[in-house]
Structure 1
Amino acid sequence: MSRIPSDAITWGMMLRKLPALVSVVPRIVKGRKLVYVRDPAQPCGLGWSFEQATQRNPQGPALLCGDMALSYAQVNEQANRIAHYWLAQGIGKGDCIAIFLENRPHLLITLLAVAKVGAVSAMLNTSQTGDALVHSLALVAPVAVVVGDERVPAFEEVRGRTALSSARTWWLADEQGAAVPRGFVDLLGNSDDYPGDNPASSRQVFFNDPCFYLYTSGTTGLPKAVIFRHGRWTRTSTHLGLIALDMRPDDVLYCPLPLYHATGLCMCWGAAICGASGFAIRRTFSAGRFWSDVRRYRVTTLGYAGELCRYLIDQPASVEDRCHGVKKMIGNGLRPGAWAAFKTRFGVEHICESYAASDGNIGFTNLLNFDNTVGFSLTGWALVQYDHGSGRPLRNLQGRMQKVPKGQPGLLLARIDDQAPLDGYTDPVRTEEAICRDVFAPGDRYFNTGDLLRDLGFGHGQFVDRLGDTYRWKGKNVSTTQVENVLLQHPQVAEAVAYGVEINGSDGRAGMAAITPSESLATLDFGELLQFLQARLPACAVPLFLRIKVKMDITGTFKYHKTRLRREAFDPCVMGDEPVYAWLPGSRTYVRVDRQLATQIQGGQFDY
């Protein structure tokens, strides 16, 4: 993919960042002292951190949502009442409580109460139902569950397949005056008369104690449960809130992301708590109401993920696009094509793009505000060569792994040590599968992230692709991320998802892309689009097939669903009214694929 412009960081670029570097170094020194706790009896984590923020800014806004505004003191007191109630009910340190609520203030108040008790919150994906929900519950064996009124129907469908008792099935109202469903216990009503002071248990939570079970997608399609400890919460909160964003009590961070995911829950909320800052949330993301919310809450900092920023760019331009107080933003997954456009249109000074994984032990952050980079990491890492077929890292004759040359994509490995411990999965076998041993020296250990990154220089990384998304065609590796970025440069393409599909008798996977036209299908010139792609991509990377979609399917964290697209490939029989087009060998345009042509392609009548 050598035709893609280089974003390499040079000495000249670094010299221009010296003022920023000078200002951030003291925060790095202070932050590292705070997060690397050496005393095993030192309290830390979510509950303790929130109590410290409450002392620092008791009357400042802690949670903002709709017409509701709760101060740090109010939120802390409500969480304390629930914590004292749970302690009286026999909930103790290490117990798991499953949480099944959509984004709203009482979700976060409940999580604080769980943390103060020393229990563990299992963050159920609120879109889950049926078998997936049962599987997620079985992974963590909760002793109790908290169900929001909005998720009662989904829970009732699977209730008989769980071992949870009615006495520990707590319910949280979504509206005032709502009746408690049969078989549930009213959490707020039963905890209202309990003390509002900090429970002693919150000072008995330490670095290695679990805080959350977060769910990540598994290779079977069912989720895996990741352990997220209080020590990692402290590192994440401090690194982003203090070192990266320098959050203050007069800041407000707006996060329209789902809070069952680490980006919203740990990165964004953690940064706000670190600064004793306001945290504004929304039940669901709305591109049309995004900036009105920002102005309403007097937001200074944004949280984002995936395609969220592009959805904002796609909104009609307005004279109010720059009428806000936002100076910085934190998140991940911002495409290079949208980076400059977002900065220019909305006037945001600092895009603090980050890289991290729920199941990993490393984080990169763009502290120095370079473009198109996830920044650098304060912990050890390496980019190594890997087998393009299996995806496994390669070893030399001495049994050691080999680093890739600077600027070349490589598999990211994160060193596991005292400064970057690996919390792992609830399943120890899964954890062991993700660890590489004796990588560069006997006894060393690294976490295999499964992601491809590029070293831009001066320790700065650039995300290239998920290893499972990269495919191989005609003996060449093709990065779906880079193909998507080129497609999005075309004025007639609004959305693009690239992936590899199989053609019978061909070596590797052929390139395919699902695209959403900016206007209508009738205005899309397929011959011109093919010429556009050929001029900007190597021959092996030009998509052989195009699928036209009116709307893309995305996850709750603004990422595209690729599994179904790969499975359906270019078979017009399973695509309904979504047309698919093929670039046939020797032709100069894409042609419509019908059942007969698809059969001919799979039957080997075309020499690909």
Structure 2
Amino acid sequence: MIKNILEFFRVISELRFIIPLLKYKWPNPDDNASLAHTFQDSVDKYGNQNFIYFEDQILTYSQTNEAANILANRLIKDGVTHSDRVVLFMENRPEYIISILALNKIGAIGVLINTSLTGAPLVHCINSSDSKKCIIGAELAAPLEGVLNEINVTDKSNIYWVKDGENYSCPSWASDLDTLLDESEKQTPKEIGNVTAKDTAFYIFTSGTTGVPKAALFPNTKIVAASTNITKAGYRMNNEDCLYNCLPLYHSTGLMLGLCACIHVGASTFIRRKFSASAFWKEAQKFNTTAFVYVGELCRYLSFQKECEEEKNNPISKMVGNGLRPDLWDCFRNRFKVERICEIYGASEGNGMFMNLLNKDQTIGMTNVDLALLEYDVAEDKLKVDENGKYIEVQEHQPGLALVKIGPNAVYNGYTDKKASEEKVITNVFEEGDRWFNTGDLIKTMDVGFSLGRKHYQFVDRVGDTFRWKSENVSTNEVAEILNTFEQVNMANVFGVKVPQSEGRAGMVAFNCAIDEFNWNEFSDFVSEKLPSYAQPVFVRIIEELETTGTFKLKKNDLREEAFHLEKVGQDQIFIKKPGEKSYVPLESDFYEVIMSGSAGF
């Protein structure tokens, strides 16, 4: 009883943060509202304050602003104008942030490309965006060089090479950006006055697993509004905070929930090229990072680490992100003494967001959108209907496919590809002409106690032909299409499987082949060359015959259930690519036990 009373008053106290959000008015389409304008406001207020900590570098807001202005003025001189697309292909470092800001000051669109892409997916991202220029980090020049003859940005003057230490030299096919910059051009470009809320700021690619990644549209209004909500209701941060950000800035979590949130309030940020569990708490202490932008996988990796001195009395008191699973939530909060965990749910291309505003446990929180949770047949991979052909809403606390109604308060921006955008829309759900965004996820309501009368939800799983692994969405169809081009593979069926003590699902493929003649070395090399690391199947099942549905779709349900479990697959052989290894080898019973114990290191 006492616990419930205390929780009642705690939740009531949250109203002081929530009420201002309810009064928030989104920018008008023609307002001068953008990331660049927000950044300029923070420069005016906190110019001498440190903004970026990276390796041995420290940049203040003013220093970053000057660098962004110098780059913006150079790009303008080279013909970049409002709405032009410019590829940004670089690891997390200050130059990435400077480039993002420079492009936004002009009103150009930053085409943010996953740094692990090579070959056909990289070509697709560049060419489908119809980009005018490329800004590439020296550290990623090699994969770009491998596709130079296939991309539509070919002139040396249109490819800017950005220095990264002393270990690289500018290739002959690119222009050294440092030699082009005029350090005296520090003034803010006048073009910023033409940048409005309705303008597209970024293309962020989703499901970028193979040949057909899709570019989600991010308008300035979405960035400005999200930054307001996330800082005031999520982190509750201000200019005195410092955020730990090791997530890739080409993803919406690292960019929107991380960088843009810091800019909105004039906070500092520590950025890292890649996550390191062993270095995390040392760096958190060193840079006094009071906030953390996360994905669930990082939290699990941190929980696996042995206790260290630096984690004790650590400065992190609040964190915002997504994918923190219920089985890890309490352990993480209790071990690391994090006071506030604001789990967020929302697709990059989607039209709705859930936020754990009340700091409840194990929930993605609540939402203001018009939401429908519909019964879904996982085995048949389709929505269920009743005897009248109508969709069926689930009962309380039962998982259902989440649909978000498209309307004035839930605008669906979709992708650059209109056909792909429409494929995510379901119409005539409850009445003629209604339109709903299909999240592709199963969600359920949950009881979180007193919550101001607002329903709270919990993420259950992804459905259909996409799963999540290593913080990336993996399209099973796209991976299968690539694997089917290997001469010895006969009809690949790709799906995701649960692995103990790992976030998301690991990739697995089942196919038929002449096992005695199959060349595993060539297949291993093929997979490594053609697929990004997160899309490469971890497990391979050699199966006698693949089952199909009545409409000739490959059946996945039984395969998902049997997964790589040796006791369930009968006489079928299972192969595995172990963590850190390059080749597939038979899955032996002793290593199977290591996997099931959660100690395999995935």
TM-score range normalised by the length of the shorter chain? 0.7 to 0.9
After the TM superposition, which of the residue ranges 175-184 and 436-445 deviates more from structure 2?
A: 175-184
Alpha-carbon deviations, 1:123-181, whole Å to 9, x = none? Answer: 11111111121111122110000011111111111112122121111111112696433
In the TM superposition, what are the counterparts of 1:505-520 in structure 2 within 5 Å? 508-510=557-559, 511-513=561-563
Quickly say closer, same or farther: Cα 1:407–1:13, change in 2 above 3 A: farther
Contact 1:301–1:329 (CA<8 Å) still a contact in 2? yes
Contact 1:352–1:367 (CA<8 Å) still a contact in 2? yes
- Partners of 2:209 and 2:101 lie apart in 1 by 32
Quickly say closer, same or farther: Cα 1:268–1:282, change in 2 above 3 A: same
Residue in structure 1 matching 2:47, options 29, 47, 58: 58
Report what 1:467 is aligned to.
Answer: 463
Question: TM-score, structure 2 length as denominator?
Answer: 0.78
TM-aligned CA deviation for residue 241 of structure 1: 1.3
Match of 1:201, SS? Answer: helix
In the TM superposition, what are the counterparts of 1:76-91 in structure 2 within 5 Å? 76-91=65-80
- Partners of 2:235 and 2:314 lie apart in 1 by 18
Q: Which amino acid aligns with 1:466?
A: R
Report what 1:560 is aligned to.
Answer: none
Q: Which amino acid aligns with 1:319?
A: E
Residue in structure 2 matching 1:186, options 160, 167, 176: 176
TM-aligned CA deviation for residue 348 of structure 1: 1.1
Contact 2:364–2:457 (CA<8 Å) still a contact in 1? yes
Match of 1:509, SS? Answer: helix
Match of 1:360, SS? Answer: coil
Corresponding position: 1:213 with 2:208: no
Report what 1:576 is aligned to.
Answer: 585
TM-aligned CA deviation for residue 580 of structure 1: 5.9
Quickly say closer, same or farther: Cα 1:178–1:310, change in 2 above 3 A: closer
Q: Which amino acid aligns with 1:227?
A: L
In the TM superposition, what are the counterparts of 1:191-590 in structure 2 within 5 Å? 191-217=181-207, 222-396=212-386, 400-457=390-447, 458-468=454-464, 487-488=500-501, 497=506, 504=545, 508-510=557-559, 511-513=561-563, 551-552=578-579, 575-579=584-588
Report what 1:132 is aligned to.
Answer: 121
Alpha-carbon deviations, 1:162-216, whole Å to 9, x = none? Answer: 2212111111111269643323223243223353232232232222211111111
- Partners of 1:401 and 1:203 lie apart in 2 by 48
- Partners of 2:135 and 2:249 lie apart in 1 by 15
Q: Which amino acid aligns with 1:463?
A: F
- Partners of 1:294 and 1:309 lie apart in 2 by 14
Quickly say closer, same or farther: Cα 1:550–1:395, change in 2 above 3 A: closer
- Partners of 1:13 and 1:405 lie apart in 2 by 29
Alpha-carbon deviations, 1:380-424, whole Å to 9, x = none? Answer: 222112343453334556665332111000001112122221111
TM-aligned CA deviation for residue 63 of structure 1: 1.0
- Partners of 2:210 and 2:141 lie apart in 1 by 27
Quickly say closer, same or farther: Cα 1:547–1:67, change in 2 above 3 A: farther
TM-aligned CA deviation for residue 95 of structure 1: 0.5
Question: TM-score, structure 1 length as denominator?
Answer: 0.77
Contact 1:498–1:513 (CA<8 Å) still a contact in 2? no
Quickly say closer, same or farther: Cα 1:160–1:13, change in 2 above 3 A: farther
Residue in structure 2 matching 1:111, options 81, 100, 104: 100
Contact 1:513–1:546 (CA<8 Å) still a contact in 2? no
Alpha-carbon deviations, 1:300-358, whole Å to 9, x = none? Answer: 01111131111111111123322321101111111222211111211111111111211
Contact 1:82–1:188 (CA<8 Å) still a contact in 2? no
Quickly say closer, same or farther: Cα 1:13–1:116, change in 2 above 3 A: farther
Quickly say closer, same or farther: Cα 1:460–1:576, change in 2 above 3 A: same
Quickly say closer, same or farther: Cα 1:103–1:238, change in 2 above 3 A: same
Match of 1:158, SS? Answer: coil
Contact 1:512–1:546 (CA<8 Å) still a contact in 2? no
Report what 1:148 is aligned to.
Answer: 137
- Structure 1 unaligned spans of 5+: 1-10, 472-478, 516-525, 531-541, 555-563, 565-573, 584-589, 591-608
Quickly say closer, same or farther: Cα 1:65–1:470, change in 2 above 3 A: closer
Quickly say closer, same or farther: Cα 1:398–1:271, change in 2 above 3 A: farther
Q: Which amino acid aligns with 1:147?
A: I
What is the RMSD of the two structures over their aligned residues, measured on CA atoms? Answer: 3.4
Q: Which amino acid aligns with 2:145?
A: E
Quickly say closer, same or farther: Cα 1:15–1:465, change in 2 above 3 A: farther
Match of 2:382, SS? Answer: coil
Q: Which amino acid aligns with 2:588?
A: P
- Partners of 1:503 and 1:23 lie apart in 2 by 61
Quickly say closer, same or farther: Cα 1:143–1:376, change in 2 above 3 A: same
Match of 2:170, SS? Answer: coil
Q: Which amino acid aligns with 2:289?
A: V
Match of 1:308, SS? Answer: helix
Match of 2:37, SS? Answer: helix
Alpha-carbon deviations, 1:257-290, whole Å to 9, x = none? Answer: 1111111111111221222111111111111101
Match of 1:271, SS? Answer: helix
Contact 1:82–1:194 (CA<8 Å) still a contact in 2? no
After the TM superposition, which of the residue ranges 271-280 and 316-325 deviates more from structure 2?
A: 316-325
TM-aligned CA deviation for residue 441 of structure 1: 2.8
Match of 2:99, SS? Answer: helix
- Structure 2 unaligned spans of 5+: 448-453, 468-494, 511-542, 548-554, 597-602
Quickly say closer, same or farther: Cα 1:31–1:205, change in 2 above 3 A: farther
- Partners of 1:171 and 1:35 lie apart in 2 by 41
Quickly say closer, same or farther: Cα 1:177–1:429, change in 2 above 3 A: closer
Quickly say closer, same or farther: Cα 1:177–1:151, change in 2 above 3 A: closer
Quickly say closer, same or farther: Cα 1:470–1:73, change in 2 above 3 A: closer
Alpha-carbon deviations, 1:574-601, whole Å to 9, x = none? Answer: 9414326999xxxxxx9xxxxxxxxxxx
Contact 2:87–2:131 (CA<8 Å) still a contact in 1? yes
TM-aligned CA deviation for residue 466 of structure 1: 0.5
Contact 2:228–2:264 (CA<8 Å) still a contact in 1? yes
